[in-house]
Amino acid sequence: MNERQSPCVRAALLAPVARTRHTRTALAAVFFCAFALYVAWHASHDGAARPVDELPLPAAHGQASDATPDGTAVNQPELVKRGEYLTRVGDCVACHTADKSRPFAGGLPIVTPFGKIYTPNITPDPDTGIGQWSDADFMRAMHEGIGKNGERLYPAFPYVEFTRVTEQDVQAIRAYLNTVAPIHYAPPANELRFPFNLRWLMVVWNLFNFNEGRFVPDPQQSAEYNRGAYLVKGLAHCEECHTPRNFMQGLSKSERFAGATQAGWQAYNITPDKAGGIGNWSDDELIAYLSTGAAAGHANAAGPMAEVVQNSTQYLTDEDLHSVVAYLRGQQPISGGVTRSRDSWGKPAVDDVTTLRGTEVTSVNGVQLFVANCASCHNWTGEGIGASAPGAYPALIHNSVAGAASPGNLAMVILHGVTRKTKDADVLMPAFGSELTNDQVAAISNYVTKQFGNPQATITPDQVGTLRAQPQ
């Protein structure tokens, strides 16, 4: 039919098109406004005065004898030594080392909801590392999340926290990295889905999740507290693992330190809440955990936290350890709905072994599997072997992993084992992932939580399979 359409019909047909155009126009306006706000915010912060304790840029290489604010000479060996300590505080080697024979050469895959990011080479190699970066390039990356060529860095690199580090400390880190062995290695390219592979979108992300600027002490708090705040909120970037994330994968500021999941591992609540967090730990116990990875009657570091202890926190000075504890003590307690602390559960097994004698086991049995795979180190009673000695096999009773609301970390420990080397001990638990099926790991986990931990925490074989598939 060739009849002419009435105005009403034409309006009805064109309405969806108009709505689509209006929606696109509105979205474009939102992005433009967000970009304009970011530019205005950035411009307003560019003129911020430099803190009086910061060194001029040439000091990172000791290029001037009068580089410090008071006119005294820069001691290059001392600067490098301090930079090594600060690099340990930041645990830089953990993320920037995929192959232990190539420290700081990058290549470690970091899996995100948007794809896979490979960490860069930060050795002084001129072609594949940061050997041709200027001091200003390095400073801008740490403080603003912008690379040498002006590209926006992804927040897998925690510039959100590193922006708080003083210029002086950033220069010391650069001075130390200049002394590590240059390694010629180009990590793989990132594997991010569209549109997350468009770096310019980080402008919008930063607008909502990043506040550029150095740490400002709280005049109402002690020097010890402020030192702890500087470390925890800055180089140590503890929030990256222990704070939940919003839908944009930025940190949820309303739930700081309330716990989060990373690569299948639960980073527990470290607020001072007595049930949900670490409020029932003494200062000495917290310090022991950070320096050795073990706090008797509370927890033993495994997974990513074992790496943090091994690479970073065991090297903290006593002063800095006490400062970190003082800062954590001063945070807002968050229970997370937990009414009983993770380390308050459990009782020794009494007759589980004798009950097995003469019994024909025809199915997957948690008690039998525990006795066969775990009891030689943890004792069939679950009380451990070696008491609280540095190299002890820990008790499963009054153990955060067994008493947690979710047995995920317990299953991960069974799958992947524990490796933690400190100045006090070389702790090794073998990984059983290649020896045990998902059904068997679930059965052991459920027996341990029922007998030695939180009996309400259970796990299915399918959930174990999901954890097993998590890249480590």
Give the range among 26-30, 278-282, 345-349 with minimum mean pLDDT. Answer: 26-30
Closest CA to 91 of 189, 161, 190, 166: 161
Cβ–Cβ under 8 Å, residues 186 and 121: yes
Residue 389 vs residue 184, higher pLDDT: 184
Cis peptide before 244 (omega within 30 of 0): no
Q: What is the mean pLDDT of residues 199-217?
A: 95
Structure tokens at 148: 């040498």
Element of type H or E holding 285? helix 283-292
How many alpha carbons fall within 13 Å on the CB side of residue 260?
19
Structure tokens at 413: 């420990």
> Is the per-residue pLDDT at 3 higher than 70?
no
Cα gap 314→302, rounded to integer Å: 14
Q: Is 238 exposed, middle or buried (0-12, 13-18, 19+ CB in 10 A)?
A: buried
> Is the per-residue pLDDT at 9 higher than 50?
no
Q: What is the mean pLDDT of residues 105-110?
A: 96
Give the range among 44-58, 220-234, 329-343 with minimum mean pLDDT. Answer: 44-58
Query: What pLDDT shows up at residue 242?
Result: 97
Residue 251 main-chain phi, psi, to 5 deg: -75, 135
Structure tokens at 425: 């001990």
Q: What is the mean pLDDT of residues 132-157?
A: 96
> Is the per-residue pLDDT at 266 higher than 50?
yes
Whole-Å CA distances, 461 to 7, 364, 416: 63, 11, 16
Cα gap 459→407, rounded to integer Å: 7
Give the range among 257-271, 349-363, 412-426 with minimum mean pLDDT. Answer: 349-363
Q: Taking the mean position of all CA atoms in its chain, how far away is CA 352?
A: 39
Give the range among 13-17, 382-386, 463-467 with minimum mean pLDDT. Answer: 13-17
Whole-Å CA distances, 55 to 72, 74, 104, 162, 163: 11, 9, 25, 17, 16
Give the range among 24-28, 97-101, 142-146, 403-407 with minimum mean pLDDT. Answer: 24-28
Cα gap 204→208, rounded to integer Å: 7
Can you name the residues that pair with 295 across neighbouring β-strands? 299
Closest CA to 469 of 435, 438, 429, 443: 438
| Helix ranges restricted to H, 90-157 | 92-95, 135-144
The region, left, alpha or beta by phi > 0 then psi within -120 to 50, assigned to residue 443 is: alpha
Going through 98-188 in order, the beta strands assigned E by DSSP cover: 109-112, 115-118
Per-residue pLDDT band at 74 (split at 50, 70, 90) = low
Longest dimension (CA), the chain: 94
Per-residue pLDDT band at 354 (split at 50, 70, 90) = confident
Per-residue pLDDT band at 391 (split at 50, 70, 90) = confident
Q: Is 296 exposed, middle or buried (0-12, 13-18, 19+ CB in 10 A)?
A: middle
Q: What is the mean pLDDT of residues 349-358?
A: 84
> Is the per-residue pLDDT at 443 higher than 90?
yes
Residue 174 main-chain phi, psi, to 5 deg: -60, -40
Give the range among 18-27, 164-173, 295-304, 356-365 with minimum mean pLDDT. Answer: 18-27
Per-residue pLDDT band at 41 (split at 50, 70, 90) = very low
Structure tokens at 126: 């001129």
Mean pLDDT of the chain: 87
Per-residue pLDDT band at 96 (split at 50, 70, 90) = very high
